[in-house]
Amino acid sequence: MVGEGLVRVEAPLKVTGRARYFNDVDVPGMVHAVVVRSTVAAGRVTRLDTARAGAASGVLAVLTHRNMPRLAAGPMTIIGASPPVPLRDDRVLYHGQPVAVVVAASAEEARYAASLVEVGYAPAEPVLHVDDPRAELIDDPWGLDHVRGDVEAGFAAADVVVEGRFTTADNTNNPLGPMGTVAYWNGEALTVHDATQWPHNVRSTLAAVFGVPEAGVRVLAPFVGGGFGAGLRVWPHVLLAAAAAREVGLPVKLVLSRPEMFSSVGHRPDSVQWIRIGARGDGVLTAISHESVSSLGMEDEDFEPVSRCSAGAYACGSVRTRDRQARLHIPGPGSMRAPAEAQGNWALESAIDELAYGLGMDPLEVRLRNLAEVDPVSGMPWSSNALRECYAEGARRFGWARRSPEPGSMRDGRRFVGYGLAAVSYPGYQVACQARASVGRDGSAFVRSAATDIGTGTYTVMTQLAAGLLGLDPGRVRFDLGDSDMPYAPQAGGSGLTGALGNAVHSACLRLVQEFCDLVRDDPASPLCGAGPGEVAVGGGRIHLVADPSRGEAFGEILVRHDLVELAADGRSVPPDSGELGMACAGAFGAKFVEVRVDPELGLLRVVRVVSVIDGGRILNAETAASQIVGGTVGGIGQAMLEETVTDPTGRIANATFGDYLIAVNADVPDVDVVFVGGPDRATATGTKGVGEVGLVGIAAAVGNAVFHATGRRIRDLPITIDRLL
Ligand code: MOS
């Protein structure tokens, strides 16, 4: 790969402050909006007095459900619909729900005036917990519940059966950059600068909600201060900013505060899971049953098939998975890095560990014995799968053989030492994407697509890819993204962007080279005249004969001679049908080895070592890919030990600050050893597989398994905090 170690191409813009995030946008006449949020979790708004707020200094408008223009619902997308539009009526469905929005000349005036809006409620008793019997349960929300084989017969044939109830806590996405929107109208045309992971989704949603033509809506997100899933959907604040801008006829900026982030942009929902696994004495699995209930907002949706991971992880003939969602008076959950997998893998991989102890076998051996050589769900061969190498390489680097199996048998002074292992088979899929590539007379290339780079390295790896395909130095290629006027791109999420966008860029660049070849083939003035397909190649900014690289010419020369300013080509990626492919589109695989120390007197848990071995297909850039895995590991350590969004009995999130909601900081994270194994995947043109989420999954279970090895205590509830360890 060209420029495998290329430093992030946008780094100079970021470190010099020239990278413009939405919050850096300052348009003439811009005013500011602040949301007033409900202080009860359920009931009705009975009184709304906006007189004092409306009369406060600088205030231009106060919108409530009484004067809010009627908005239509947003469209359906491949990740579901966006949340219901705000300020529809007097009903309150969660604590923190918008009940008014105040627009004022300055952010300070807006915030002060927001505090003057008087709201009275007729509160109702909120339903707040996933196991509350009053909660409405939705069965099999996505039709993904899975049954194969005869599960009861499988358990009857088992020599060892383990079962347990596992739980995971609510976790909140905390991108470093708080999210928000700058919106301005020009007649029916709307421009929005937004912290989104998916500009086209924002565009189509705004067009539908406001009933304006999509072509007139432009969404800009050239830089986004992190996402983790929080920027996949179009949350109420985006619509409120656009509605406020139309109301006052001025550009409006709306920035969420950190506490608002906890109730405004989704979160990983908590879950209760029941898992049962049976195996013969030789370790071969005979049956898996995995059920879950996750929390869900009252009128929202969220794709969170928690137990689904148990269908595809192991070669087991009899498997049953079942997911339900409980409607609660909570801010709507949404995707948070590795949605569903992060929760489900915790139960599955903890239970596999428990099973290994029941069998008296090494947990690594149990996993190897049940390795899925083909996709267990479709029965088709994998497009690639190097999980076996992940195990082997991880065990070697980690020194797994040094582990003495007995819990509590390894010590470091008075602290117990634990070694834990967990595996992950991350689902793979492909989505549609488009890109456009052009080369100008100066021989430099411009490639673009309406994708985003949420810190993942999209700018960099697409620059490399285009450079390689066009035979240019990466310094001669500019890749641009983050503008909905560019060709369609899917969300930067679900570990799917690099595959889809890579395919589209691949197709655009190959077509562009073809266009140049078509120009010179019949051109007597070209040294390449008459060269057939397969006889020419690109390199060094030229097209040349394969047989004689000295015979060729630069892109620019061809353009000049043909009186062209540039040549451009469009490329698209159409998701292949797995039936047509004849193989199962594999996602990434990984093996996570974790060493912990547990202080038996203080209950202090420390992760001291992580080896994360990943099969991510072809790795385009070792640095940005490894950075994804390290970042995922940090998120995994947070999920394992620290992160828990706490809701008090009134439905208020009680720890909505960085002081109270604990995320892993440097002192919690050891050096992380990241290794990639495996080779190019067969299902994508570029051979890549997504690595955005696989780094997180499995860390929690590996930590939990290491805690069991250290202490003999099987913790089934996340996070593993001191009170649970003592
Ligand atoms: Mo992610 S939760 O796919 O942004």
In a domain, 638, yes or no: yes
User: 189-194 and 217-220: which strand pairing?
Assistant: parallel
* 422 and 443 assigned to the same domain: no
**H or E segment to which residue 90 belongs:** none
Active site residues: 693
Q: What is the mean pLDDT of the chain?
A: 96
Ligand 1: which atom is nearest the Cα of residue 496?
3
Q: Copy the structure tokens of residue 114.
A: 């927001």
CA–CA distances in Å: residue 415 to residues 127, 463, 522, 603, 641:
42, 49, 77, 10, 18
**pLDDT value for 5:** 79
Q: Which of 172, 174, 268, 335 to mutate to test the pocket of ligand 1 (most atoms within 8 A of CB)?
A: 335
In a domain, 5, yes or no: no
**Which residue has the least CA distance to atom 4 on ligand 1?**
229
Q: Give the range among 1-5, 76-80, 422-426, 538-542 with minimum mean pLDDT.
A: 1-5
Q: Domain residues for 554?
A: 433-575
**3-class secondary-structure state, position 111:** helix
Ligand 1: which atom is nearest the Cα of residue 494?
3
User: 271-279 and 252-255: which strand pairing?
Assistant: unpaired
Exposed, middle or buried by CB within 10 Å (0-12, 13-18, 19+), for 297? Answer: buried
Exposed, middle or buried by CB within 10 Å (0-12, 13-18, 19+), for 213? Answer: exposed
Contact predicate 419/709, CB 8 Å: yes
Instruction: Find residue 35's DSSP bridge partners.
Output: 101
> DSSP alpha helices (H): ranges in 545-645?
555-561, 578-581, 622-637
Angle at the Cα of 563 (from 562 to 566), degrees rounded to 5? 90
Length of the chain in terms of residues written: 726
In a domain, 635, yes or no: yes
Q: Tell me the CATH number at 69.
A: 3.90.1170.50
Average pLDDT rounded to a whole number, residues 239-248:
98
**H or E segment to which residue 418 belongs:** strand 415-427
In a domain, 4, yes or no: no
Domain count, the chain: 4
pLDDT digits (tens, 9 = 90+) for 412-445: 999 999 999 999 999 998 899 999 999 999 999 9
- Left (φ > 0), alpha (ψ -120 to 50) or beta: where does 43 sit? left
Q: Residue 232 Cα, ligand 1 centroid: separation in angstroms?
A: 7
In a domain, 2, yes or no: no
Q: Copy the structure tokens of residue 312.
A: 């595809």
* 119 and 134 assigned to the same domain: no
* 229 and 84 assigned to the same domain: yes
Ligand 1: which atom is nearest the Cα of residue 231?
4
**pLDDT value for 78:** 85
Q: Copy the structure tokens of residue 503.
A: 């395919």
Residue ending a domain, choose from 240, 264, 288: 264
Residue ending a domain, choose from 225, 247, 264: 264
Whether residue 197 has its Cβ less than 6 Å from ligand 1 = yes
Ligand 1: which atom is nearest the Cα of residue 228?
4
Q: Residue 590 Cα, ligand 1 centroid: separation in angstroms?
A: 18
* 15 and 112 assigned to the same domain: yes
In a domain, 114, yes or no: yes
Contact predicate 719/445, CB 8 Å: no
* 80 and 158 assigned to the same domain: no
Whether residue 232 has its Cβ less than 6 Å from ligand 1 = yes
* 365 and 305 assigned to the same domain: yes
Whether residue 697 has its Cβ less than 6 Å from ligand 1 = no
Whether residue 229 has its Cβ less than 6 Å from ligand 1 = yes
* 259 and 116 assigned to the same domain: yes
Ligand 1: which atom is nearest the Cα of residue 339?
2
Whether residue 493 has its Cβ less than 6 Å from ligand 1 = yes
Average pLDDT rounded to a whole number, residues 221-248:
97
Indicate yes or no: pTM above 0.90. yes
pLDDT digits (tens, 9 = 90+) for 14-59: 999 999 999 999 999 999 999 999 999 999 999 999 999 999 999 9
* 360 and 504 assigned to the same domain: no
Residue labelled with tokens 């080779």: 679
The percentage of residues in the chain with a pLDDT greater than 90, rounded to a whole number, is 96
**pLDDT value for 578:** 66
Whether residue 297 has its Cβ less than 6 Å from ligand 1 = no
* 364 and 398 assigned to the same domain: no
Q: Tell me the CATH number at 615.
A: 3.30.365.10
Q: Which of 196, 337, 343 to mutate to test the pocket of ligand 1 (most atoms within 8 A of CB)?
A: 337
* 85 and 197 assigned to the same domain: yes
Whether residue 271 has its Cβ less than 6 Å from ligand 1 = no
Whether residue 228 has its Cβ less than 6 Å from ligand 1 = yes
In a domain, 1, yes or no: no
Residue ending a domain, choose from 370, 391, 415: 370
Q: Which of 224, 265, 343, 693 to mutate to test the pocket of ligand 1 (most atoms within 8 A of CB)?
A: 693
In a domain, 714, yes or no: yes
* 388 and 470 assigned to the same domain: no
* 604 and 571 assigned to the same domain: no
